[in-house]
A and B are shown apart, each in its own frame.
Chain A
Amino acid sequence: MNLWLIPLFPLLGFLINGIWGRRFSKALVNLFAVGSVVASFAYVLWVLSALYPLTTAHTETYFTWIHSGSLQIGFDLTVDRLTAIMLLIITGVGLLIHIYSAGYMEHEGGYHRFFSFLNLFMFFMLLLVLASNFLLLFVGWEGVGLCSYLLIGFYFGEDFANNAGTKAFVVNRIGDFGFLLGMLLIVVHFGTLDFATIASAVASMPVEASAGVLTAITLLLFVGATGKSAQIPLFVWLPDAMAGPTPVSALIHAATMVTAGVYMIARAAFLYGHTPITLHVVALIGLFTAVMAATIGMTQNDIKRVYAYSTVSQLGYMFLGIGVGAYSDGIFHVMTHAFFKALLFLGAGSIIHGIGGEQDLRHMGGLRKYMPITFITLLAASLAISGFPGFSGFFSKDAILSAAYDYAPWMYWVGVITAGITAFYVFRAFFLAFFGDYRGHHHPHESPWVMTLPLIVLAVFSVGGGFLNVPNWLAPMFPNVEHGSPLLMWISAAVSILGIVIAYYIYILKPGTAESIAAATGPVYKLIDHKYYVDEIYGALIVRPVEAFSRTVLWKGADIAAIDGGVDGLGHRLRGIGAIFRQMQSGSIRNYATWVVLGSLLVLFVLGLAGGGR
């Protein structure tokens, strides 16, 4: 099948644009950048149709990558039903975002650089989902992190963008700490990193004997997932990552890369299935992240930050789904989220593009008159993320929530309230942007067709994507899970609509209510508005102490004062000997050689005496 061609196309696009793009015209850059993704998408379609119905995984082995002692790790790719979904999301949504970017980046510098990085990202992301062992997955994992770093810092003349990029990379590295140790633990216990081999080994081993080590492995891997997928406690990088161009936020920080953690756990379901403790932790972390991020989302004024927190929150739902055992519902939500969240970001990008780069909701308003297509498509996306009945988010989110009810009813209720909050803040942003009067100082205009066309396509999928029966397609891969009664779905839908209505009341019917609520809730509002002070706490507890300790104690204290001071002090005290040394250092090679030989002979002689006495 030559699966390697799938990631190869974007890699070629990266190489061509990366090496020669500077001299290319924009059209030529587009040709290679977009063309490579088209080729990849088409090839994915061909492969999947050829392999349909893909009841068993299709693996291709290329070469041995690492071979040391008993450890052997191959460069092998696999396609199964889970990979198929991810491939379609990545190449499909990726293609739309590439097309959109051609319009969005039109007037930006570094056009070829942007597209070469975007192509490189596609390469690593495809590698991540095609990998048939943990180490190759980790290659993609780190690679997408690299591209994320490069693209967050795309405007590298700006300090905030560079800080955000470095923060993203380092925070992700902290997550990788867990991922690496998890992999090492797998190596020690299974002697391999190959998914299929581990799966069969786990299946045939007595679970009681291995529960401890499997729990350790899965928890460590999950630490990696919290980094990449921005969960508590490592979510802090994602909101800052919005410093990158908006298509990047849509592709990397909403639709694909940040879901890698969810994908990884679903991929390793053969391990997680044996570790109820870890799954419980995953569910809790997911749920708490969903609540926390949703509450922060209510207070943000930067439209991209609102959507960034909503991404964190929605990722929390996905982990909740995985944690309660509903893997296929989690992946279902990955897919619908890819549609509507990519659309939300692209729509936000269209707004930003149309009003001269402004991102602050307070300087928008009344835009529905100026950008009708953006308005309609964003409405579809907002309804989808709110879980409005019939829209895609309704099906996936409520599948997760009803599975959660079966697992623990209180999780369902917390999730439902969060869904209400989600509907509220998404529509808050929507109303602030499109209703009322325009509060900015530009001349708003609708975006060109290269940008609106992807919006329309994504809107179609945001509306109808829920009817693609992903859970059914994935059913053979994962253990079956019970769902609660259908009534639960309607309860959560009602709560969501309530959220929309409240937003309508506060921001359309009674403008000014928001301020009075903020004033009335004083300290709580302030706490949420400052994002629970998480960044400040990390800074005070970890970053600054480490830096201060390194500077004062280690470098100035130990290195310079203690060790060097000791050595130099010794030198001063032995000044007499130093004088002799100075004479030895006459600068003549012959003298040096003499000294070395003489010294050696002396030592030889002394030892000869000593040794001879034995």
Chain B
Amino acid sequence: MTSHLLSSILFLPLAGMLVLLAMPSENRKLIRGWANAVSIATFLLSLCLIIRFDINAGGYQFMERAQWIPSIGAQYLLGMDGISLLMVLLTTLISAIAVLCSWRSITDRSKLFYSMILLLETGVLGVFLSLDLFLFYLFWDVVLIPMYFLIGIYGGERRGYAAIKFFLYTLLGSLFMLLGFLALYFQYAAQYGVYTFELQKLLTLNLPAGTEEWIFFALFLGFAVKIPMFPLHTWLPDAHTEAPTAGSVLLASLLLKMGTYGFLRFSLPLLPKASTQTWIVQLMVALSLIAIIYGALVCLTQRDWKRLVAYSSVSHMGFCTLGIFALNAKGLTGSVIQQVNHGITTGLLFLLVGFIYERRHTREISEFGGVAQVMPFYATVFAITVFASAGLPLLNGFIGEFTILSGAFQVNLWWAVVGVIGLILGAAYLLWLFQRTMLGPLKQEENKSLRDLFPRERLLVLPLVFLAFAIGIYPRPLFAVLEKPVQNILMRLAPDPRSGIADSSPATPPGRNVSTQETVASPSACWRPALAPTTPALTQGAGSKLSAGRKNRAPRLLYRSTFLSLIQVEAR
């Protein structure tokens, strides 16, 4: 059991689903109860990971390996690092919440519904745990099917259109991703004469930059559709809006993270040359920044509550990809934290929309107003969620956004400027949504009899609200868990001295030697505009003096040489 902890977590929902399929369809209470029990059991089991996870271990933990399809070199290979730990915990928690939030809303064909959610949970967990590319691909596509049904069967009026759109977009994306994987697979075979999909083996590949670029874009199509990055995002508003509450929550909180996870786990480590290539980074960042601003602006014009929340995901996920392609410790750490945060706050936002939809059967913002007067508890939770999402300090969103922005700023001033503009717009559309729905006079007759949240609904939101505060006030555990995996990624990205893409700035070597955490600074230099030379002597001297310290760094120039400051600071 102990050695198969990951497998147990991974297949518990699937096993629960198989039992569920054997249950009589008429006994809805049994089905409902069983689904809840399974999802909660999975969540509790995943908590064991927290106890047994070793923060200081550099590599993968809880590894499990078995032969699967020896003829093509595909293995059953699971493992976990800090990034997957956070994603797995998020998955089991959100899945349990998604199951519980359907308590009343799903009455028809509930057996299929719950089995789809459980299947989805196994699929998502598999994505976050697989260390074999073929296994990863399998789980990636497994996720597609239950989501298609959740939208297509249990969705709103335009569910058919939304489901097909979702399915085609992501299926096409995943096919390209598979092509990319296969390219790696054959390249490895060509170089080493062995066919394998094992991630750690493929990491030893040394590909020409041009090949890496093509593979990068193949993977990009798969991941970017899921995140979704601009302009591949248009499936998202429809899918989110039409999906039932549980579907929206799962989609926003978990499925979108699969894309960013893919970048972190595969694109960056496997394709370091392409991932640090100036024009690719610029393209990725440009798409992220467009998504941040564009998503926020479109939010400002929405009349449909749920669609607004859906578009806000585009904007928030833009921050996550911005952090990734800042390619430094702050950016990457912030990105993962922001993914967790987005899972929490957007999950909450969709839950809250769902609660109100179950009561009023409309999502038109103009149908509401003054709801805070009849639903004070709901309004309070909504307010907290809005402020968490808008990045108010002491709530979770701020931690991620600030860390991402400081990472982005380190590379390029303008990335941070655009990001901060996104924050302003975020506050604007969220507060506006809050004002139009919760505040003002209670005009509509139907709203006057709205009931505040039931105990079950409070139970759903409170853990997430608690997490929003916990991460905002004491995010230290997240930073600690992410330190090693982020270092590993950065180590992969550190330019190979022979490859010629290494930074030639004289200030870099001391900076890189004294702190691996800031390795980033070097590749970043090649796409930073107008870099003026720093004085190596001063930096180096100060740097070596402080080399034992944890916070020394070689400060970099940003824009003009007059803006140069040569200071080494050891804080406190």
Which A residues fall within an 8 A CB radius of B?
A: 61, 63-72, 74, 135, 138-139, 142-143, 146, 149, 153, 156-159, 162-163, 165-166, 169-170, 173-174, 176-177, 180-181, 184-185, 187-192, 194, 197-198, 201, 204-205, 209-214, 216, 546-547, 549-551, 554-555, 558-559, 563-564, 567, 571, 581, 585, 587, 589, 592-593, 596, 599-600, 603-604, 607-608, 610-611, 614
Known contacts A187-B410, A191-B552, A607-B183; 4 additional CB pairs below 8 A are A65-B475, A68-B403, A197-B572, A607-B186
Assess A139 versus B394: contact at CB under 8 Å? Given A65-B475, A72-B571, A550-B300.
yes
A197 lies within 8 A of B562 (CB): no
Known: A69-B333, A554-B294. A212 touches B190 (CB 8 A): no
Does A139 lie within 8 Å of B393, measured CB to CB?
yes
Q: How near does chain B come to A38, taking the closest CB pair, in angstroms?
A: 25
Name A161's closest neighbour in chain B (CB-CB).
B439
A201 touches B406 (CB 8 A): no
| Chain B, 304-357, CB within 8 A of any chain A CB | 328-330, 333-334
**Chain B interface residue count: which class?**
35 or more
Name A180's contact: one of B298, B329, B405 (CB within 8 Å).
B405
Residues of chain B within 8 A (CB-CB) of A589 are 145
In contact, A550 and B420 (Cβ under 8 angstroms): no
Residues in B with CB closer than 8 Å to A205 are 565-567
Chain B CB within 10 Å, residue with most, of A159, A173, A604: A173
User: B476 touching A64 by the CB < 8 A rule?
Assistant: yes
Min CB gap A579→B, angstroms: 13
B300 touches A138 (CB 8 A): no
Seen from chain B, the residues whose Cβ lies within 8 Å of a Cβ on chain A are: 72, 137, 141, 145, 149, 164-165, 167-168, 175, 178-179, 182-183, 185-186, 189-190, 231, 234, 237, 294, 297-298, 300-302, 328-330, 333-334, 370, 372-373, 387, 392-394, 398-399, 402-403, 405-407, 409-410, 413, 416-417, 420-421, 423-424, 427-428, 431-432, 435, 438-442, 474-476, 479-480, 515, 517-518, 550-553, 555-556, 558, 560, 562-572
- Whether B190 and A173, one on each chain, are in contact in the complex, defined by CB atoms closer than 8 angstroms, is no
Given contacts A184-B406, A192-B571, A546-B300, contact A143 B330 (CB under 8 A): no
Residues of chain A contacted by B569 (CB below 8 angstroms): 190-192, 197-198, 201
Residues of B within 8 A of A211 (CB): 562
- Report Cα–Cα, A611/B179, bound state, in Å: 12
Q: Which residue of B lies closest to A194 (CB)?
A: B571
Q: Nearest residue in B to A142 (C-beta to C-beta)?
A: B393
A554 CA to B237 CA in the complex, in Å? 14
CB distance from B83 to the nearest CB of A (A): 14
Give the complex CA separation of A201 and B571 in angstroms. 10
Q: Are B441 and A67 in contact (CB under 8 A)?
A: no
Closest 9 CB pairs of A and B: A611-B186, A69-B329, A192-B571, A550-B297, A212-B562, A139-B393, A184-B409, A551-B301, A212-B563
A143-B394 in contact (CB<8A): yes
Chain A residues, CB < 8 A from B428: 166, 170, 173
Taking a contact as CB atoms under 8 Å apart, the answer to whether A181 and B416 are in contact is: yes
Q: Are B423 and A173 in contact (CB under 8 A)?
A: yes
Knowing A173-B423, A611-B189, the reply to whether A66 touches B394 (Cβ < 8 A) is no
Which of B387, B551, B565 interacts with A210 by CB under 8 Å? B565
Q: Which residues of the partner chain B approach A68 to less than 8 Å between Cβ atoms?
A: 329-330, 333-334, 403, 406-407, 479
Name the CB-closest residue of B to A174.
Answer: B424
B224 to chain A, nearest CB (A): 14
Known: A143-B394, A181-B417, A546-B300. A187 touches B567 (CB 8 A): no
- Given A559-B298, A604-B182 in contact, is the A197-B571 Cβ separation under 8 Å? yes
Shortest Cβ gap from B349 to chain A (Å): 18
- Give the Cβ gap from A489 to chain B, nearest Cβ, in Å: 41
Point out the residues of chain A lying under 8 angstroms from B409, CB to CB: 181, 184-185, 187-188
Q: A162-B440, A547-B301, A550-B300 are in contact. Are A67 and B563 (CB under 8 A)?
A: no
How far apart are the CA atoms of A79 and B475 in the complex, in Å?
25
Assess whether B440 is in contact with A603, with CB atoms less than 8 Å apart: no
- Contact indicator B475/A563 (Cβ below 8 Å): no
CA distance A209 to B49 in the complex (A): 51
Would A191 and B551 count as touching, CB distance under 8 A? yes
Which residue of chain B lies nearest to A567 when distances are taken between CB atoms in the complex? Answer: B234
Are the CB atoms of A157 and B370 closer together than 8 Å? Answer: yes
The answer on a CB contact under 8 Å between B145 and A592 is yes
What would 7 A/B residue contacts be, using CB atoms closer than 8 Å?
A139-B393, A153-B439, A163-B435, A188-B555, A213-B564, A585-B164, A607-B186
Cross-chain contact B517 with A69 (CB below 8 angstroms): yes
Q: How far is the CA of A213 from the CA of B560 in the complex (A)?
A: 9
A188 to B435, CA, bound (A): 37
B186 touches which one: A180, A210, A614 (CB < 8 A)? A614
CB-defined contacts of B413 to chain A, threshold 8 Å: 181, 185
With both chains docked as a complex, state the minimum distance between the C-beta of B518 and any C-beta of chain A, in angstroms. 6
Residues from chain B with a CB closer than 8 A to the CB of A135 are 393, 402
With a 10 A CB-CB cut-off, give which of B168, B410, B571 has the most chain A CB atoms. B571
User: A173 touches which one: B297, B301, B424, B474 (CB < 8 A)?
Assistant: B424
- Contact (A63, B567) CB under 8 Å given A69-B517, A211-B562: no
List the A side residues contacting B438 at CB < 8 Å.
156
Q: Contact: A69 with B392, CB < 8 Å?
A: no
Q: Is A143 touching B393 in the complex (CB atoms < 8 A)? A: yes
Q: Chain A CB within 10 Å — which of B190, B330, B405, B567 has the most?
A: B567
Residues of A within 8 Å of B565, CB to CB, are: 189, 205, 209-210, 213-214
**Contact partner of B518 among A69, A162, A174, A201, CB < 8 A?**
A69
Contacts A181-B416, A555-B301; A169 near B403 (Cβ below 8 A): no
In the complex, chain A residues whose CB is within 8 Å of the CB of B333: 68-69
Q: A72-B551, A197-B571, A555-B301 given as contacts; is B441 within 8 A of A159 (CB)? A: yes
Chain A nearest Cβ from B287, distance in angstroms: 13
CA gap between A125 and B518 in the complex, in Å: 35
Contact partner of A162 among B329, B373, B420, B435, CB < 8 A? B435
Known: A66-B403, A184-B406, A205-B565. A550 touches B301 (CB 8 A): yes
Residues of A within 8 A of B294 (CB): 554, 558
Set of chain B residues within 8 Å of A611, measured between Cβ atoms = 182-183, 185-186, 189-190
Question: Is B479 touching A180 in the complex (CB atoms < 8 A)?
Answer: no
- Contact assessment for B137 and A550 in the assembled complex, using a CB-CB cutoff below 8 Å: no
Give Cα distance in the complex from A139 to B392, angstroms: 8
Chain B nearest CB from A141 CB (Å) reads 8
Which residue in chain A gives the minimum CB-CB distance to B307? A555
Chain A contacts for B392, CB-based, 8 A:
142-143, 146
* Chain A hits for B149, CB < 8 A: 587
- The interface residues of chain A lying within 8 Å CB-to-CB of B424 are 170, 173-174, 176-177
Asked whether A71 lies within 8 Å of B387 as measured between CB atoms, the reply is no
